[in-house]
Structures are given as structure tokens and as C-alpha cells.
Amino acid sequence: MPFGLRNAPATFQRLMDMFCRNLPAMAYLDDISVLSPTFDQHLLDLKSVFLKLKDYKLLGNRSKCYFACSCVKHLGLWITSRGIEVYPDNASTIQKISPPRNVKQACTESEQNTFTTLKNCLVSTPILSHADFTKPFVLRTDASNYAFGAVLLQGSDMEEPPIEYASRLLNSAERNYSTTERETLAVAWALNKFRGYYRRFENRHSI
């Protein structure tokens, strides 16, 4: 596909989505990830991917291919068996962010502590846990006058590790909603946002 075409990325992504259908793989443009629970299964999964690459007449760059890795950098994130973490280089950049200095940005000791806590939360590992579809999910939402956010958690007896976060700003019409309406909208929006998780359940009590 020639470079520079306006619709080239979307067209190529549709091709890769078709390619990954019925395969133990996912793709973002020309980056294909094959995730397997065991090494033996990984070999079988790779064989399936290679055969389909041949059918689609697609070629891989050998120098950019990595196999049987326990961790991998993907889209700027560090993906391991523990979860999805901040890539070390990105984490160091966040840690180096200096607190507000000028008069306009001046903050109190309480705000400074919040700033430090937020930085530590952003670089703590693992950031996101892998979803376990044998366990129920917990959805938490909150709405303010200007935005709402949601977090999908994995329910358990002792803790609820986060699976995914999401948020968005309210538009001008939504800002006129009552508190109850904004909270309800947040739930409806979050259910749609995370629908890829709960659609896999046949039991409606799983979330």
C-alpha cells in the first residue's frame, strides 16, 4: 500500500482485523501480537499465524520479529504475565516532572502531596491487570459537572485490581443534566465502552 493516502491506515487496519479473525492474535496496523498460555501452545499459535500470512501473501520483517518472549513493549506499554505496566523509559520521564513553580501554578502542601501521589500511582506496577473471564467484573463510575470517568475492576474477595480506565468530557447539553442524569449517563457510557468484556458472559450476574 502506498504511503501518504488519507485512508491508508484505516484500510490496512481493516485488513489486519480480517487477518486476525479466528486467530489467537491481535494486530495494530503492522504490529502483530500472538499471546499464548504455554510455550507448546505458542508454537502451535505461531504456526497458525504463519500459515495465514502465507495465504494473505503478507511478509514479516525478520529483524523486527521476536518469539517466545515473557514480556514485550507494545504501543508504548510493557506487557508481562503480571499485567500491563508503564514502560521503564516512560516511567522515568513521569518521575522527572517537576511540581508547579510559578505564582499561577502555586499549590499548597496538600496539593503538592496529591501531585506526588499521582506521579507514584502512574508509574507503579502493574498498572492494569489482565482480565480473568472466570471471575466477575466490578464497574465503578463517577460524574462531575464537567466530565465523568469509569474503571473496570476484577472482583475478588481481597482486592479489585483495575483492568481498564476511561473518561470523557461532558458536552454543553450534558452539563445541564441533573446529578442523577449525569450519574446514569456515566453508567450507560461505561457499559458501552467496556462491552467487549461483558459480552463474553452468558451469566448476567458476572458484572
In a domain, 194, yes or no: yes
116 within a domain of the structure (yes/no): no
Q: H-type helices in 21-128, by residue range?
A: 39-55, 88-95, 109-123
| pTM of model > 0.85 | no
Q: What pLDDT sits at residue 104?
A: 64
Instruction: Assess if residue 111 is contained within a domain.
Output: no
**Residue 59 falls inside a structural domain:** yes
Cα(52)–Cα(36) distance, rounded to whole angstroms? 17
80: its cell numbers: 508481562
pLDDT tens-digit readout, 109-164: 777 888 888 888 777 766 788 888 888 888 999 999 999 999 999 876 667 888 98
In a domain, 106, yes or no: no
| Residue 86 included in any domain | no
d(CA 85, CA 181): 35
81 is a domain residue: no
Total domains in the chain come to 2
> Along the chain (207 residues), what's the average pLDDT of each consecutive run of 10 residues?
77 87 86 87 92 88 85 79 76 74 68 82 75 85 94 78 91 94 95 82 55
Mention every residue, 6+ apart, whose C-beta is less than 8 A from residue 152. Answer: 137, 138, 139, 162, 163, 164, 165, 190, 194, 197
Q: Would you state the pLDDT for residue 205?
A: 52
Give the pLDDT confidence score for residue 152 in this predicted structure.
92
Give the structural domain span for 176.
Answer: 138-203
